[in-house]
């Protein structure tokens, strides 16, 4: 048995002596909770933002059965990085460029986990999501780090800025709840401000696969699932006694559309 399998991510970081990696302590705790179900699977992982390459080494230890661990960085110095672990690959490119996306896809066409630790600028974060969320397998996670930058003007952000990276992820909540809008508009309309400002398009089929959005301090985690799993489903009413509201008995197996008021009211 691989001795690393019994160690937490925080333990692996504490013991690490290879290439430099730096993460906030709260991230390590969140990742332990989020990534534990993937740990013994043959996962593929993409990290945007490589820097010194230490996190790629640590992911290879944390995911002993990973098939691919890919890093992408715009810094040409990253081409000098070498790894003993053959599963680790580094792509030197602008992750949001057409060439960069093609280079990443040439290593692995789909990923279970994508971590954006790139420039932290709102433009790059939003464009990266549009490009790489489609590559995430159903059941996988898309994680964006250092969203604190979404509050800072030098990273194209600000508190309550309607086109900041953190506002973008907040808007995904409206996308998830699209079936309750009571409007004919497509889910992509919730992201119209970002489409216009950052010249990016969001694939409707991919937006339908946004299952949940979770925030922690400076982190956002987006889970991907097939569309049927993202609908509210049917109302389920069980039990036989309803002395307070007997009408609830008739709500069993009703779709949410049955709760809409009649037209014209």
- Residue ranges per domain, the chain? 3-233
- In whole angstroms, how far apart are CA 215 and each of 34, 141, 175, 212, 250? 12, 13, 16, 10, 37
Length of the chain, please? 265
Report phi then psi at 63, rounded to 5. Answer: -110, 80
The single residue of 120, 178, 180, 211 carrying the catalytic annotation is: 120
- Give 10-residue mean pLDDT values along the chain (265 residues): 83 96 96 97 98 98 97 98 97 97 97 98 98 98 98 96 97 97 94 94 96 98 97 89 87 78 52
Distance CA 158, CA 137 (A): 32
Predicted structure pTM score: 0.93
Would you give the distance in Å from CA 13 to the centre of its chain? 23
The answer to whether the CB of 159 falls within 8 A of the CB of 133 is no
pLDDT of residue 6: 87
Distance CA 222, CA 219 (A): 10
Distance CA 107, CA 85 (A): 15
The answer to whether the CB of 201 falls within 8 A of the CB of 161 is no
Q: Which residue do the tokens 């800072």 mark?
A: 152
CA atoms within 13 A on the CB side of 179: 14
Report phi then psi at 98, rounded to 5. Answer: -60, -40
Report phi then psi at 194, rounded to 5. Answer: -75, -35
pLDDT of residue 31: 97
pLDDT of residue 261: 62
Q: Is 16 a catalytic residue?
A: no
Phi-psi bin for 51: left (phi > 0), alpha (psi -120 to 50), beta?
A: left
The answer to whether the CB of 95 falls within 8 A of the CB of 85 is no
CATH number of the structural domain 3-233 = 3.40.50.150
């Amino acid at each position: 048995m691989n001795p690393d399998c019994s160690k937490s991510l925080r333990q692996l970081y504490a013991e690490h002596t290879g290439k430099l990696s730096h993460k906030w302590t709260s991230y390590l705790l969140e990742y332990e909770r989020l990534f534990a179900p993937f740990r013994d699977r043959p996962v593929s992982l993409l990290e945007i933002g490589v820097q010194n390459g230490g996190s790629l080494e640590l992911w290879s230890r944390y995911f002993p059965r990973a098939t691919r661990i890919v890093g992408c960085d715009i810094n040409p110095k990253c081409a000098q990085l070498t790894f003993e672990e053959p599963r680790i690959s580094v792509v030197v490119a602008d992750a949001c460029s057409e060439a960069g996306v093609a280079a990443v896809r040439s290593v692995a066409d789909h990923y279970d986990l994508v971590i954006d630790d790139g420039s932290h600028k709102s433009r790059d974060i939003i464009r990266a999501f549009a490009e790489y969320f489609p590559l995430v397998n159903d059941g996988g996670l898309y994680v964006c780090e250092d969203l604190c930058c979404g509050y800072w003007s030098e990273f194209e952000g600000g508190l309550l800025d309607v086109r900041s990276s953190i506002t973008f992820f907040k808007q995904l909540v409206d996308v998830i709840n699209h079936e309750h809008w009571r409007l004919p508009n497509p889910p992509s309309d919730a992201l119209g401000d970002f489409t216009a400002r950052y010249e990016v398009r969001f694939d409707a089929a991919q937006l339908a696969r946004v299952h949940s959005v979770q925030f922690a301090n400076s982190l956002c985690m987006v889970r991907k699932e097939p569309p049927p799993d993202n609908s509210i489903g049917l109302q389920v009413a069980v039990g036989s006694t309803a002395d307070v509201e007997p009408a609830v008995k008739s709500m069993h197996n009703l779709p949410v559309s049955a709760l809409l008021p009649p037209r014209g009211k």
